[in-house]
Amino acid sequence: MRAATVPPRGPDEGEVAVYLQPLEGEAARLALSFAAVALVRSDGGEVPLSLAVRDAAGARQRRIAHGRVPSGQYVAANIRIERATVETGERPADLHVAPEPVRVDAAFRVLPGRAVLVQLQLSVARSEQPGFGFAPSFFSAAAGPGTTQSVGYATAPGSDLVTVFDRRTRQVTGLVATGARPRGVAFHPLLARAYVAISGEDRIEVLDVVTGEPLASVRLQGGDRPEAVALTRDGRTMLVLAPGSDSLVFVDVDGSVEVGRVTVGEGATSLVVDGADRRAYVLNRRASTVTVVDLASQSVAATISTDAEPHRAALSARGDRLYVVHRGSAYLTIHTLPDLAPAGRLYVGLGAAAVFVDPRTDLLYVSLDDDPRLQVYDPLSLVPVHHLDVGGTAADLAMDRAENVLFALVPERRDVAVVDLGSRRTVARLDMEGAPFDLALLREGR
């Protein structure tokens, strides 16, 4: 499904999002209902933001407001809360909240074409009043792009933004404004760079992960509409899936220049690269085929037929099997590698949205449309062993092996669910800007 097109930013516009930090300790019993959020310019003028959510409660970070605003210096935010309640054990008790907006000092500058994330923290001690009075007191800080050691990115084509999060703290830490319709993203861990497919502008944007600033732009051919990006393990070659021209494009990373392209099947939709940098597997949805590309010779090595509308694929932990799920078939198909022989079919249900293999256990995770659960299959018996509830259809999955958690991108909720694989519980949710499309973690396999 294509994301809705948003108007381009004006030449003097930037982006601002306001996040409420988790309410911890005694504050976790509070629930706040926001009525309005506006930014205050240095000249005293107000710029209203759009509310993202009205209600925020508990120990979870929430995105409460966002908007495109004129560039310039801002000194504060005015926040109006229409209701506050506290959990008493029986039922929530209403607190008395003044109707006037609360001014929160927050000094930051919005640059044209850039994004700022403002974090709000509630001071409980300063907010409590005698009886059931509540005078909300916040302090704030403009967040940075995150640390390079534990950073993750989620793209949102409908908002022309990348949401930056920290997979250790499980919080959103920054925003990066991009060109039109950012889609696929990949990291270069050694160079601390991110490569984002800018589908609406036929180019790849190269970002500095430390600062969030753009470093370079790789121009593709007009009409390529880049969808997916992958790097070879040696970090020297970038592969770009360009469904607009039914091509797989080879880019030299050092020179940021196209060095070759291969014609693939009609309706190319996703890309998988093996761990030995020998082959890439391109799924062609309209052609119902997989194009196998030899990376050394930059040529098509084989084409295999699949069930109707292949959508996503994953490699087994040893790289000896290719799993393919389909939009037009209820079966997951399996091919042995490198000989590409059919090796079985697994009934998973119609509407497969994602497939992922745990690189440690070889367990197979499958997401379906309109099902909030990930089905988990044993790779040998191909029978379901358990499921994980992520609250909606997962469109992409990534694993933090060190923390033993799975990140599930859920576009319908506009968030990313963080699932602890030991307890099989969702332990955090990260609010995204717009409906997220692709997910990547730095220094982690996918």
For the segment 49-90, what is each residue's pLDDT rounded down to a tens digit? 999 999 998 788 999 999 999 999 999 999 999 998 988 877
pLDDT at position 74, please? 97
Say yes or no to pLDDT of 251 above 60.
Answer: yes
Q: What is the pLDDT of residues 268-281, one digit of tens each?
A: 999 999 989 999 99
pLDDT at position 1, please? 42
**H/E run at residue 322:** strand 321-326
* CA separation for the pair 288, 305 (Å, rounded): 6
- For residue 2, name the pLDDT band (cuts at 50, 70, 90): very low
Q: Determine the Cα angle at 240 with ends 237 and 243, to 5°.
A: 160
Say yes or no to pLDDT of 445 above 60.
Answer: no
* CA separation for the pair 296, 109 (Å, rounded): 47
Say yes or no to pLDDT of 444 above 60.
Answer: no
Say yes or no to pLDDT of 174 above 50.
Answer: yes
Which CATH number describes the domain made up of 13-143?
2.60.40
Say yes or no to pLDDT of 443 above 90.
Answer: no
390 residue type, one letter: V
HSE of 229 in the Cβ direction (CA atoms, 13 Å)? 34
Biggest alpha carbon–alpha carbon distance for the chain: 76
Q: How many CB atoms lie within 10 A of CB 415?
A: 24
- For residue 152, name the pLDDT band (cuts at 50, 70, 90): very high
**In contact, 233 and 264? CB cutoff 8 Å:** no
What residue segments make up the domains of the chain, in order of their start? 13-143
- For residue 25, name the pLDDT band (cuts at 50, 70, 90): confident
SS3 sequence of 193-260: EEEEEEHHHCEEEEEECCCCCEEEEEECCCCCCCCEEEECCCCCEEEEEECCCCEEEEEECCCCEEEE
Q: Take residue 48 and report the two structure tokens written for it.
A: 């209203």
**In contact, 154 and 438? CB cutoff 8 Å:** yes
pLDDT at position 142, please? 58
**In contact, 374 and 386? CB cutoff 8 Å:** no
**What is the mean pLDDT of the segment spanning 385-403?**
95
Q: What is the pTM of this model?
A: 0.92
